Amino acid sequence: MDMEVVRLGRTDMRVSRVGMGVWQFSGDAWGAISYEQAKAVVAKAVDVGINFFDTAAVYGRGRSEEYLGRAIKELGLRDRVYIATKIHGEWLRRIDILTSVENQRRRLGVDAIDLYQIHWPACWHNTPICETMKTLEELVNKGLVRYIGVSNFPVQLLDYARTCLSRTDIVTSQNRYNLVEREADKELLPYLRREGIVLIAWSPLAKGVLTGKYTPENPPAFEDVRRNDPLFTPQNLKLAWPLVEEIRRLAAAYGKTPAQVALNWLVRDPWIYPIPGAKRPEQAVENAGAAGWMLSDDDWRRLDRLGWEISQRIIYVTW
């Protein structure tokens, strides 16, 4: 089945209904990965219709950007894909942004970055948000960046950041969002839908919790970023298990995998855009298979309700 293509919010980008995050290309956060492995993942992703890739300067200190840019160049894919990246949340002064965007364009091998996002707010240096936003608008005016977005911003700061802009606007907000991590439902998603801003969902599979691969008796080996993630405490894995069992039941009923069911729950909403990762080509194929079909209304609602109820019982305190 051909991949569904949709317009990404108020942009002119026609993107695959499921994108791909490439944090895993960093080589550290998710375990070792070679350039050839990364290239194979990109090639297979595009082969099955995925045309949107999200990375960041901080992933492997530029390594993820380098791998992605090199793969796209060697495979001759630049005119077939959209590239999103993020600037480090502590590089938000004008001088730092102007320096970083040149480094990132070089690593990615592009004249213009399709979507340039602030990775997180300036928590330590307290850079004025309007200095940051006006500099990003300058990049758009110069043609170095096509669109701008934010990541991990609270609604209030996102709303204020938009007041700093005069000729462009924020088009996306990238936030952690999945069946069992639902804080965005409380105020962020209603705001985004009302304002026509797309939520790019990072960690759409809850770092693997929703696939059923991990149980309280079989937690991850903790060789990567899951080591300190509270979702993987025995208590929270146990809490999430009824949801995992329901996902598995639906997967069997629809002839899909648990990952595809969990992602399909997300793609029902036109304002949510998931970017699951992949370290192997077959995972890219699996992710693409989350599009092109839909859960029934009853199944979607049952899954949604169960996920919400469990999400409100998850405890993030770990000591």
The CATH number given to 5-206+257-294 is 3.20.20.100
> Per residue of the chain (319 residues), what is the pLDDT tens digit?
589 999 999 999 999 999 999 999 998 878 889 999 999 999 999 999 999 999 999 999 999 999 999 999 999 999 999 999 999 999 999 999 999 999 999 999 999 999 999 999 998 889 999 999 999 999 999 999 999 999 999 999 999 999 999 999 999 999 999 999 999 999 999 999 999 999 999 999 999 999 988 887 887 776 678 878 999 998 999 999 999 999 999 999 999 999 999 999 999 999 999 999 999 999 999 999 999 999 999 999 999 999 999 999 999 998 8
Q: Where are the domains of the chain?
A: 5-206+257-294
| Cα distances (Å, whole numbers) of residue 284 to 133, 270, 275, 276 | 34, 21, 11, 9
Q: Residue 59: what pLDDT?
A: 97
Q: Residue 223: what pLDDT?
A: 67
Q: Residue 30: what pLDDT?
A: 81
- Report the catalytic residues: 59
Question: What is the value of pTM for the model shown?
Answer: 0.97
